[in-house]
Structure 1
């Protein structure tokens, strides 16, 4: 009597039942048996890869997904899961190539394409993310959400006219433009010269809507405030920005006491245990300090050297610091530190052409300087410092993604973080004088070549001809257009323009 194979979907159901019962081992066995009967079942292979990853066997899971994609190149769920794994390994070049191939086989897919675009954008692969947008447009997809992503990506890549074209498409085809923060995106693409520009009328028209949620309304106010600042109408700009900040401050409720407790804990902490890690063959460079204090300008200038790779604001160090802090005892902490060093190095090095110096410009890494130097004894810390009132005003005038700079919507909170950042950096400077160097924003914008040249010598960079342009590198910063312009001194003592309508700025002389 011939044995009739059990259908693949029955095997899947049985495995799912075992999982629901808490028996992952039996579920794994069932899927292995099922694949012996149905070796070409993508559903079974995808399920087994998920179980293997859940069990901590990422190598086996990735191998399953790679085999699955070799047979089903349009299996987008598998491609996204493998791309996330590659990103965790720092293999972002491979992740970008994988997703571009996968979506070439599924040109009409929108939802997962957006997931892929966001994954690549978050990983610093804006060129690949933009390619996914352009691939979709070439295939006839015209979803306004794709145009929103394309506009933001084009702006990061310095393609401002392309960005405006995509924003204009959204404006013409969707009533959700304000909800998707298109006004804020438009305002970041240029410096306005006159209130005759059509964006002014657009922004003011949208402000009359009574159905805007708080966050879209605040971003619209920030956009219009920036526009009025550009044309020199300071009082009008201040009124709009004050309302925008009040909305965000009420929505986010940043906890000043919790911040202060964290700072005091770090200042009072003794030396970390020595993980006995040898310095790597490359040099990690951390640009830290208050946001809006020149870190983007400095990183962009350093990255013109052919031996420097600018990685943007990597999110990994705070996560790894939390893991180290949660470890038990010195032995557990040393093990966690060794793991953290490997994890962070993979994200910094990635899988592109190796160089000798790598830059992470996450400003709040000033909280973790002791961990940085324990993991990487040859690391260099550059502290960007700016005149307090200029720095506070620049922060207060920006709209940030929730969760990134939630203190920036109240001048009192800004003053607290600014004072604590300087306390922390003075503490680290005293403990690690060989590894920490301060750069003043005012010196950077006044004499950028001399300032960066001095830093290059301190970092040990060899003499080299700089790249003719750094504009091919993507920028993710609160002022995309400004960061691409020549260096001007107009931002020095800018606070004086606002002092007549914001007398509270005068109280921020906390140098």
Structure 2
């Protein structure tokens, strides 16, 4: 009897999947793998089906020996990485991808996919290492260099970031569409109008046929550079055009925002779970963007028992999922809490306290209070005019900050933030504490000790504790790594003659 070839098994199993017979397909692939134990394709097909059938342990057990024999298998490695990622085992993802990278030279497209996966898993150093390895091996792909530049910014390696961005900009016209010009300007503080980067940026601006996003990126870069050297009129001119370009392409509506805020204020509190885990104490840092959330998170993360996970979108995702459900029952809340803990704890730390510094979580304070009875919420406050100016000067990634390009929209979000936090403070007075940016930069050590005592952290000498080595993936990547200073306090006053819109905000 002739042995059924691998392709025939694959065709038969896939046909059953297409018909919706997953149980039958599983049985087929089990039989096929027994007939062809060395087939990578069959093993991956079976593992993939096991994963989809919620048999993650069985899928992982099948992939591990396969990768021990074939460490360069892209299909098996990426499938294992997806399984581990779903379980919050991000260190495991990193180990798998590093082993795959070390096993052989992959095509640049697969290499970039691996870097994107690690980036999405918040394993920035590993992603950077894979990018730098490919560059060291001679890759001239501009996409890779631009990605390496972005990762270097987040890791605080600003000289390397500058080198990578310059390469991308010099070798691929599309680099302007990847915001490489803004990345280049963000890699340093400009000291003089004679800096050659000014003419480089102006040259980019003169290129014909620029897409609006590329032009905006260059203008934000020029605005930032001009602000650095104190040329406020030039900064405002560039930033006005940049904000207008980006603002024209976003779909933020102040009226809809106000409806959302009103709906939140009118809703009843969710029934709390009232079950706190001894090994997991979340700290949520909320407030308007650019109000000091990154700074406070970085100082708290100096404590050896604190892990800063940065700006997570997990709470917002759970809120959306629960809103789509016909009703929010106890089981749904338990599931959401479990999923959040799994995503935040991961497999790389023994810390008990975890920081989630997504500023816009002020929209979901009732959900946070329901999920985590031991949560502590820190509300960062800052002079409204300084906050509005700082927001308006940034080019944000993603759409969560689509309000940032218009002062009226910034004012609407700021008002909503104040109302929601005030309401939550009345509901949960023992769980929310406010800290002013101006007070924090004046005496970060004292304010951090006070916050730590309120949170329940063991004592620590905050002034001598090592700085957090946390990756900073926000627009504060440069500022948060500088010594604490007072230069940004009252900054709005120099801009008000050129930006009268600032006067609509409280001083």
Alpha-carbon offset, residue 458 of structure 1: 1.1
User: 1:229 aligned to 218, 227, 231, which one?
Assistant: 227
Q: Is residue 272–residue 369 contact of structure 2 (8 Å, CA) maintained in 1?
A: no
Partner of 1:282: 280
> Of residues 306, 309, 322 in structure 2, which corresponds to 1:308?
306
Say yes or no: does 1:440 pair with 2:426: no
Give the Cα separation in 2 of the matches to 1:159 and 1:369.
Answer: 35
* Alignment partner of 2:159 out of 147, 158, 161: 161
C-alpha distance in 1, partners of 2:349/2:232?
47
1:396 counterpart = 2:392: yes
Matches within 5 A, 1:357-396: 357-396=353-392
Give the whole-Å Cα distance in 1 for the aligned partners of 2:200 and 2:466.
35
Does the C-alpha gap of structure 1 residues 256 and 62 become closer, same or farther in structure 2, counting only changes over 3 Å? farther
1:473 aligns with 2:470: yes
Deviations 1:355-392 (A, max 9, x none): 23111101111111121122111110000011111111
CA contact (8 A) 1:287 1:295 kept: yes
Contact 1:280/1:376 (CA < 8 Å) preserved in 2?
no
Q: 1: CA distance between counterparts of 2:105 and 2:63?
A: 20
Distance 1:27 1:307 in 2: 47
CA, structure 1 residues 173+471, in 2 after alignment: closer, same or farther (shift >3 Å)? farther
1:112-261 equivalences under 5 Å are 112-261=110-259
TM-score (norm 1): 0.95
Q: How far apart, in 2, do the equivalents of 1:468 and 1:133 lie?
A: 32
Q: Which residue number in structure 1 is paired with residue 452 of structure 2?
A: 456
Q: Which moved more, 1:211-220 or 1:79-88?
A: 79-88
| Partner residue in 1 for 2:482 | 485
- Counterpart of 1:506 in structure 2 is 503
Match of 2:95 in 1: 97
Instruction: Indicate how the Cα distance of structure 1 residues 249 and 171 shifts in structure 2: closer, same or farther if over 3 A, else same.
Output: closer
- Contact residue 46 and residue 68 of structure 1 kept, 8 A: no
TM-score where L is the length of structure 2: 0.96
Q: Distance in 1 between matches of 2:234 and 2:259?
A: 38
2:265, 2:420 within 8 Å by CA — same for their partners in 1?
A: yes
Number of equivalenced pairs: 506
2:478 counterpart SS class: helix
1:12 corresponding residue in structure 2: 10
Contact kept? 1:113, 1:132, Cα under 8 Å:
yes
Gaps of at least 5 residues in structure 2 are none
Alignment partner of 2:405 out of 376, 399, 409: 409
- Between the aligned partners of 1:504 and 1:140, the Cα distance in structure 2 is 50
8 Å contact kept, 2:294–2:476: no
Change in Cα spacing, 1:85 to 1:259, as seen in structure 2 (3 Å) is farther
Partner Cα separation in structure 2 for residue 371 and residue 472 of structure 1 = 30
Alpha-carbon distance between aligned partners in 2 of 1:26 and 1:108, rounded to the nearest angstrom: 35
- Gaps (5+ residues) in structure 1? none
